Amino acid sequence: MPELHVADKRWSVADGSNLLDALNQAGVSVPYSCRAGSCHACLVRCVQGEPLDLKPEALSRTQREQGWRLACQCEVVGDVQIEAFDPQRDGLPAQVAALDWLSPMVLRLRLIAQRPLRYRAGQHVVLWTASGIARPYSLASLPEEDRFLEFHIDCAHPGEFADAARQFKVGDAVRLGELRGGALRYDPDWQEQPLWLLASGTGLGPLFGVLRDALRQDHRGPIRLVHVARDEAEHYLKAELQALAAAYPPLAVEYLLRSQLADHLVQMRLVTRQTHALVCGHPDTVEAFAKRLFLAGLSRNQLLADAFLTRS
């Protein structure tokens, strides 16, 4: 049986074991989100040995040469020595600057990093609590405009990070892990074309950042934003979106309950196939929107999707 080696810990695992599962089951905390090789939250460095990488194209040549691998995409087929991310050694120190509830279940967390973080709207970063709990979250803030980093945390269900975040106080220390690209972005080449932003739950957070980025880059085509929520109380950022719509009349904002989604999908029609769509949130909703858009004639390169793992 192959052996894993992390710091001063060694243990045997079954041949072909998923590297991410093998590490977490042994108490080596490796955060993850998508398990599809997209979010890059589970990045680990192979110091010695080589796992079977099922998705080598997900990382750059430079990253691979440095030994970095996505644990969720690797199988253990031989002895491997792993260097896991150490938030105290490798993380960027940050401090809780503000906390408030955007809805009964959505906590807005604003952080100030010790040094500026270069990012783009729609990216995500791994957050580490002082006790070592980690979770990747998408950024809802806009670089170069917001002095803070903003995250929207869904606290509807129990989860280690969400439970810890409920106890945060202004001034508490947080560490920032790897900043990753994510699927969501705004391209200035889309300026004259229709832009659809389709969100469920806290998927609204990163799309709110992308929306502001589009307006900052002088988007001139129509923009349609749809937010799907569990109930009316979970439709948040209403005042902010209303203010943006007043300043930019081509922006139309729609609010749906999950119970209304099926009927809404049946009625969805593309005005033009030049439309670009960004979809973010619960995997079921992301899949439902994507299927309907493809059936309506949208090509795959015009759809950017980011599905959130359904755990807190």
CA atoms within 13 A on the CB side of 158: 0
State how far the alpha carbon of 190 is from the alpha carbons of 51, 211, 215, 270, in Å.
40, 12, 11, 16
- Decide if 16 is inside a domain: yes
Among 83, 98, 124, give the residue marking a domain's end: 83
What SS3 state is found at 226?
strand
Taking the C-alpha atoms of residue 202 and residue 242, their distance in angstroms, rounded to an integer, is 18
Are both 7 and 53 inside the same structural domain?
Answer: yes
Q: What's the structural domain count of the chain? A: 3
Same domain (yes/no): 94, 125: yes
Domain end position, chosen among 118, 149, 180: 180
CATH number at residue 16: 3.10.20.30
Domain annotation covers residue 312: no
Which of 149, 180, 211 terminates a domain? The answer is: 180
* CB-based contact 107:191 (threshold 8 Å): no
Q: Based on the fold, state whether residues 196 and 288 are members of the same structural domain.
A: yes
| Residue-level pLDDT, tens digit, the chain, 312 residues | 999 999 889 999 999 999 999 999 998 888 877 787 777 778 899 999 999 999 999 888 888 998 999 999 999 999 999 998 888 888 999 999 999 999 999 999 999 999 999 999 999 898 999 988 888 899 999 999 999 999 999 999 888 899 999 999 999 999 998 787 778 999 999 999 999 999 999 999 999 999 999 999 999 999 999 999 999 999 999 999 999 999 999 999 999 999 999 999 999 988 898 999 999 999 999 999 999 999 999 999 999 999 886 543
Domain that holds residue 155: 87-180
Tell me the C-alpha distance between 297 and 212, whole Å: 27
Domain match, 62 and 138 both: no
Give the domain CATH number at 201.
Answer: 3.40.50.80
Structure tokens at 295: 């059936």
CA dihedral 240, 260, 33, 278 (to 10 degrees): -60
**Do 51 and 92 fall within a single domain?**
no
Q: Assess whether 158 and 194 both reside in one domain.
A: no
Q: Clarify whether residues 123 and 206 are in a common domain.
A: no
Q: How far apart (Å, rounded) are the C-alpha atoms in residues 297 and 301? A: 12
Question: Among all chains, which residue has been given the structure tokens 């939250």?
Answer: 41
Q: Residue 160's domain is classified under what CATH number?
A: 2.40.30.10
Record the tokens describing residue 235, joined without a space: 């439709």
